Amino acid sequence: MAKKVLADIKQDLDGYVGKRIRLKANRGRRKVIERVGILEQTYPNIFVIKLDEKKCLGRRVSFSYSDVLTETVELSLCREDGDKKIVCGER
């Protein structure tokens, strides 16, 4: 059951590869990072975002699909008319 949910999240994110994404990640102890980047690639267990902000240009960060499931990482699609939260794994 859990593997199917994670596979659904991966499948949902596959449609956003190459798109500009805003990520909000809870790193623990009241430390939350917010960055903007491109969803570069999805792999069987992780996905990679290439950051494009000036202070971290070209740096890549990776997260697991379970981070999305537990809401440790929140993803939003960057659009001209405002960000749209990406909801994954819900059917």
Asked if residue 91 belongs to a domain, the reply is: no
Q: What is the tally of structural domains in the chain?
A: 1
Asked if residue 51 belongs to a domain, the reply is: yes
Asked if residue 90 belongs to a domain, the reply is: no
| Token pair 């909801």: residue | 87
Asked if residue 69 belongs to a domain, the reply is: yes
The whole model's pTM is what?
Answer: 0.84
Give the C-alpha distances (Å, rounded to integers) separating 73 from 54, 58, 80, 81.
22, 20, 22, 23
pLDDT in tens, 20-35: 999 999 988 889 989 9
Among residues of the chain, what percentage have pLDDT more than 90?
A: 64
Kindly indicate the confidence band of residue 65, based on its pLDDT and cuts at 50, 70 and 90: very high
Q: Which range of residues forms the domain containing residue 38?
A: 2-85
Q: How far is Cα of residue 25 from the mean position of the Cα atoms in its chain? A: 9
Domain at 62, CATH number: 2.30.30.100
